[in-house]
């Protein structure tokens, strides 16, 4: 056993459950902050722990380029390298490479691309995405897929979906043959001399036996075509994975379309396996998707918006750069208990942002993550109380003080 998923409560399509990984337990539905290159930008790991983050997302593309898979492997995987003892999920690199546009070339074998850092040429295939993700050692890793561009006609969408299915088979085959190479326990002799207080490497959870390893999730594609989404879901399930993701959304389509595709795709995913919707969304959206029965989500929005001074609060969005906050002695969000809202005023946060201070990025990111995580906690609480219909009102329609 390397993954255990238990559903505890259902209300309509929504579900609350528990996902047990080799590096800790995750209450679902869960929001996963994005730790692109081994760091959730501007936030120390101990603060992420304090915020209650149970699982982080790492980007294989970024980690592969810098610091490189071999370095991470030598530290017992990303858990050891970044000193994060809890669960990690990595994407396959496919979406990141897709985002490079001009710099990539796709064929049956895989994707040739140029690094955004130095223009050097690289190649990702299902096999070497798996090899990279095994070296990085996340608890959950993703099949290598092609994210279909938007818009795309039916023929193109179908061909892309078929490619993703063939790559899913190849991903699974490689993973099954190399699953024992996970670096969590490896302590290869190296040039690094032991130090008095050596950084710990975070061995696996004792909930599982010695044979526990990573889990590989499949990804459903099919563009905006509901029939192809159905086919992609069914054929991905046929290949067989311990969890399924919905990819290829949030690529420029209208939000109503996203919702429709998610709803349709979920119908064809097994109810007893975790379902991961990739790359969404706003606070309203993550509540809606949880309501539809999604168990896992990730998005750069809370962290990226924070760095641009856009803050999410129980009273709506705040652009902290605005002059109206320059004399505002109240907390950012009077209903938030995070370390930022407990201590700092809007005027101070506005001053930091206007002065281009690094601390603005730190504090803004901490608050936005806190708001997302808190939103998801409320959703789970509502589900466990059987109160599906109150998701939105409890989070967003609080009366103004």
Q: State the pairing for strand pair 14-21/24-28.
A: antiparallel
- Residue 26 CB, nearest approach to its own copies (Å): 22
227 CB-contact burial (10 Å; exposed 0-12 / middle 13-18 / buried 19+) = exposed
Q: Is 109 in the site for its own copies (CB under 8 A)?
A: no
For 55, the enclosing helix (H) or strand (E) is strand 55-58
Do 262 and 289 touch, CB atoms closer than 8 A?
A: yes
The contact pattern for its own copies, residues 48-87, with x = CB under 8 A and - = no contact, is ------------------xx---x--xx-----xxx----
The active-site residue, picked from 139, 225, 295, 298, is: 298
- Within residues 181-240, the interface with its own copies by CB under 8 A covers 190-199
- Residue 309 CB, nearest approach to its own copies (Å): 14
Query: Positive or negative, the Cα torsion across 33, 246, 389, 20?
Result: negative
- Residue 317 CB, nearest approach to its own copies (Å): 18
356: Cβ contacts below 8 Å, ≥ 6 apart: none
Of the ranges 160-168, 254-262, 277-285, 323-331, which one interacts with its own copies (CB under 8 A)? 323-331
- Considering the complex, state which of residue 37 and residue 242 has its C-beta at the smaller distance from its own copies: 37
Q: Is 357 in the site for its own copies (CB under 8 A)?
A: yes
- Residue 49 CB, nearest approach to its own copies (Å): 10
Q: Which of 352, 376, 379, 395 binds its own copies (CB under 8 A)?
A: 352
Which of 176, 379, 172, 386 is CA-nearest to residue 285?
379
Which of 350, 343, 340, 400 is CA-nearest to residue 371?
340
Which of 72, 281, 61 is CA-nearest to residue 182?
72
347 CB-contact burial (10 Å; exposed 0-12 / middle 13-18 / buried 19+) = middle
- Residue 221 CB, nearest approach to its own copies (Å): 30
Q: Which of 14, 111, 280, 341 binds its own copies (CB under 8 A)?
A: 341
Rg of the chain, C-alpha, whole Å? 21
* 298 catalytically annotated: yes
The contact pattern for its own copies, residues 34-53, with x = CB under 8 A and - = no contact, is ---xxx-xxxxxx-------
- Residue 169 CB, nearest approach to its own copies (Å): 34
- Considering the complex, state which of residue 136 and residue 262 has its C-beta at the smaller distance from its own copies: 136
Do 244 and 269 touch, CB atoms closer than 8 A?
A: yes
Say which DSSP state 14 is in.
E
Residue with tokens 């599906």: 388
Of the ranges 120-128, 170-178, 222-230, 336-344, which one interacts with its own copies (CB under 8 A)? 336-344
- Residue 197 CB, nearest approach to its own copies (Å): 6
20 strand-pairing partners = 4, 25
Q: State the pairing for strand pair 296-298/14-21.
A: unpaired
The contact pattern for its own copies, residues 266-305, with x = CB under 8 A and - = no contact, is ----------------------------------------
The active-site residue, picked from 91, 145, 295, 374, is: 91
Q: Which residues bind its own copies (CB under 8 A)?
A: 37-39, 41-46, 66-67, 71, 74-75, 81-83, 190-199, 326-331, 334, 339, 341-345, 347-348, 351-352, 354-355, 357-359, 361-363, 401
Q: Name the residues annotated as catalytic.
A: 91, 298
């Amino acid at each position: 056993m390397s993954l255990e998923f238990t559903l505890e409560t259902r209300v309509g399509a929504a579900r609350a459950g528990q996902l047990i990984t080799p590096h800790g337990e995750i209450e679902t539905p869960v929001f996963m902050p994005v730790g692109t290159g081994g760091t959730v930008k501007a936030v120390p790991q101990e603060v992420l722990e304090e915020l209650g983050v149970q699982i982080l997302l790492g980007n294989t593309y970024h980690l592969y380029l810098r610091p490189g898979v071999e370095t991470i492997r030598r530290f017992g995987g990303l858990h050891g390298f970044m000193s994060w003892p809890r669960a990690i999920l990595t994407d396959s690199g496919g979406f990141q490479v897709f985002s490079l546009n001009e710099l990539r070339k796709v064929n049956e074998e895989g994707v040739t691309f140029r690094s955004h850092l130095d223009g050097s040429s690289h190649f990702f295939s299902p096999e070497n995405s798996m090899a990279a993700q095994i070296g990085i050692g996340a608890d959950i890793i993703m099949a290598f897929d092609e994210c279909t561009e938007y818009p795309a006609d039916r023929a193109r969408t179908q061909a892309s979906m078929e490619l993703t299915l063939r790559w899913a088979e190849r991903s699974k085959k490689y993973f099954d043959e190399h699953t024992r190479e996970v670096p969590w326990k490896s302590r290869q002799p190296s040039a690094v001399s032991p130090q008095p207080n050596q950084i710990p490497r975070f061995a696996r959870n004792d909930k599982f036996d010695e044979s526990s390893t990573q889990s590989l999730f499949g990804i459903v594609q099919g563009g905006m075509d509901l029939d192809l989404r159905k086919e992609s879901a069914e054929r991905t399930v046929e290949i067989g994975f311990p969890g399924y993701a919905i990819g290829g959304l949030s690529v420029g389509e209208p939000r109503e379309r996203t919702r429709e595709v998610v709803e349709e795709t979920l119908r064809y995913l097994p109810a007893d396996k975790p379902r991961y919707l990739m790359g969404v969304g706003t606070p309203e959206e993550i509540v809606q998707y949880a309501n539809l029965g999604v168990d896992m989500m990730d998005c750069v929005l809370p962290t990226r918006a924070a760095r641009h001074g856009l803050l999410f609060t129980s009273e709506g969005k705040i652009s902290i750069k605005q002059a109206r906050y320059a004399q505002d002695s109240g907390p950012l969000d009077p209903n938030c208990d995070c370390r930022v809202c407990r201590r700092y005023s809007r005027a101070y946060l506005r001053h930091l942002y206007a002065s281009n201070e690094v601390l603005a990025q730190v504090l803004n990111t901490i608050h936005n993550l806190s708001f997302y995580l808190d939103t998801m906690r409320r959703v789970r609480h509502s589900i466990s109380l059987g109160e599906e219909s109150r998701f939105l009102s409890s989070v967003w329609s609080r009366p103004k003080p």
